[in-house]
Amino acid sequence: MLGSLARWWRGETGPEAAAPPPSEAPGPLIWMQVSPEAASAGLDGVRQVLARLDRLRPGMRVMLALPPGPEQALPDTVEAAVPPEDSLAAARDLLDRVRPGLVVLFGNDLPGALITAADRAGIAVMMVDVFLPPPARRLGRFGQRGLLRRIRRIVVRDQASFGLLERQGLDPAQIDVGGALGLPPKPLRCSEAERASMASLTHTRPVWLAAAVPAAEIDAVLAAQAHAQHHAHRMLLILAPDQPDDALELGDRLTDAGWAVASRSLEGEPDAETEIFLADDPAEYGLWYRIAPVSYMGGTLIGAASQGRSPFEPASLGSAVVHGPQTAPFAADYARLDEARAARSIHDDTSLGEAIADLMSPDRAAVLAHNAWAVTSGGAAAAEAIVRAILREFDAARAERTS
């Protein structure tokens, strides 16, 4: 039925199919419309919601309106569609044809014509996965209170977004904080034998990792190591260069500068005197994140890393994340960690050294690591909260129509 319905609404069937016979008319369904911004960030969160919806309400039918782009693989109970033009005529035509029981807007878009047409037709509208990003918390179209008041429920990612919408005059009972969607990252693997061996060599020493460090940041990382050594003289830096092929030359340079250096490809393991251990195999990040309680994400001071790493890699393995201001292409991930107080932000060479020295306190690093774990594992809870809210609004709207 969904396939024929989609063809019918797109106008791919003849005039005789302009409306299905009453006996075949589909029951209420959900029209879910994904904003371009949400779609550009990937559909993992949308798929989480759809999968959870199907588990909680088997057979629930959804028409998913996506912005133009590559065809997406969707569950059998979901039919792909295209958003209507932002005009009242197009929105009314959509609602007349599809007759949804609920309109769900996914992301920050406020399609005014669709919201207005649904309100006039008595169709409930809700928004989910709404996030007003820092630092400015820009309102944009969320400044249009008339539109917001036509939306029955809004599920936001965080408390700050909740507060901003509340200050816009929305009833707090209209807003839920659901958390941030996202599939938990798959932890990078490592050999347990290697991990145990390396841990036995380093367990009495303070250790930090500088991951994917470009050549232009090497001096800043060395300065941070020197500063941190004043607080913990046996400090070990695991240094993973952005370009592993540069490791041999880098090792010679560091040795000439007076550092006690060893490397993974030559010595294999650090000894008691090693100050800097060069991790020159990119396949072993899963090992280094497990060994180092603190990880500085290279390239974030000057934005020059060609092989930058996602901060969710160390966060999911219990290593506290330190980063500079240049967070592309993982800006959204860093924003989530910063918002949850799950990362330490620094701005220059000096603050990098101060952060590393401070986080050598196990308690301080553990707080960041715990908060980061909550962020990286919390996507399932956010999907659950969104789906529960969708089903409540869907059932309430259906009850109103039949009362």
Paired strand residues for 262: 277
Claim: this prediction has a pTM higher than 0.85: no
What are the structural domains, with CATH classification, of the chain?
Answer: 2-183+379-402 (3.40.50.2000), 192-377 (3.40.50.2000)
Structural tokens at position 12: 């791919």
pLDDT digits (tens, 9 = 90+) for 7-43: 333 333 333 333 333 333 444 699 999 998 888 777 8
Whole-number pLDDT of residue 140: 55
The better pLDDT of the pair 375, 129 is held by: 129
Whole-number pLDDT of residue 23: 31
Please state whether beta strands 207-213 and 294-297 pair in parallel, antiparallel, or not at all (unpaired): parallel
Structural tokens at position 342: 């799950």
Paired strand residues for 372: none
Whole-number pLDDT of residue 276: 97
Whole-number pLDDT of residue 137: 46
pLDDT digits (tens, 9 = 90+) for 121-136: 999 999 999 987 654 4
| Sheet containing 207-213, strands listed edge to edge, beginning at the edge strand earlier in sequence | 261-263, 276-278, 236-241, 207-213, 294-297, 320-323, 343-345
- Quick check: 154 and 126 in contact, CB under 8 A? yes
Whole-number pLDDT of residue 184: 66
- Please compute the mean of the pLDDT values over residues 204-220 and round it to a whole number: 95
Whole-number pLDDT of residue 138: 52
The SS3 call for residue 400 is helix
- Mean residue pLDDT of the chain comes to 86
Paired strand residues for 175: 154
Percent of the chain past pLDDT 90, that is, above it, reads 57
Find tokens 């969708």 and name the residue: 390
- Quick check: 340 and 280 in contact, CB under 8 A? no
Binned at pLDDT 50, 70 and 90, residue 183 comes out as low
Angle at CA of residue 271, ends 270 and 276, nearest 5°: 50
Residue 304 pLDDT > 80:
no
pLDDT digits (tens, 9 = 90+) for 222-267: 999 999 999 888 999 999 999 999 899 999 999 999 999 999 999 8
Residue 305 pLDDT > 80:
no
- Please compute the mean of the pLDDT values over residues 379-388 and round it to a whole number: 86
Long-range contacts of 88-94 (CB under 8 A, 24+ apart): 88/113, 88/116, 88/117, 91/116, 91/117, 91/118, 92/117, 92/121, 94/9, 94/31
What phi and psi, each to the nearest 5 degrees, are found at residue 122? 75, 25
Segment (H or E) for 167? helix 159-167
pLDDT digits (tens, 9 = 90+) for 170-180: 889 999 998 87
- Please compute the mean of the pLDDT values over residues 370-386 and round it to a whole number: 82
CB atoms within 10 A of CB 82: 14
Whole-number pLDDT of residue 287: 97
- Please compute the mean of the pLDDT values over residues 103-127 and round it to a whole number: 94
Please state whether beta strands 102-106 and 276-278 pair in parallel, antiparallel, or not at all (unpaired): unpaired
The SS3 call for residue 208 is strand
User: Any idea which of 88-97, 207-216, 309-318, 374-383 has the lowest mean pLDDT?
Assistant: 374-383
- Quick check: 51 and 75 in contact, CB under 8 A? yes
Whole-number pLDDT of residue 121: 95
pLDDT digits (tens, 9 = 90+) for 325-374: 999 888 878 987 887 889 999 999 899 999 999 999 888 999 998 888 87
Find tokens 């918390």 and name the residue: 137
Alpha carbon distance 184, 120 (integer Å): 40
CB atoms within 10 A of CB 199: 13
Residue 1 pLDDT > 50:
no
Helix/strand number for the chain, H first, E second: 16, 14
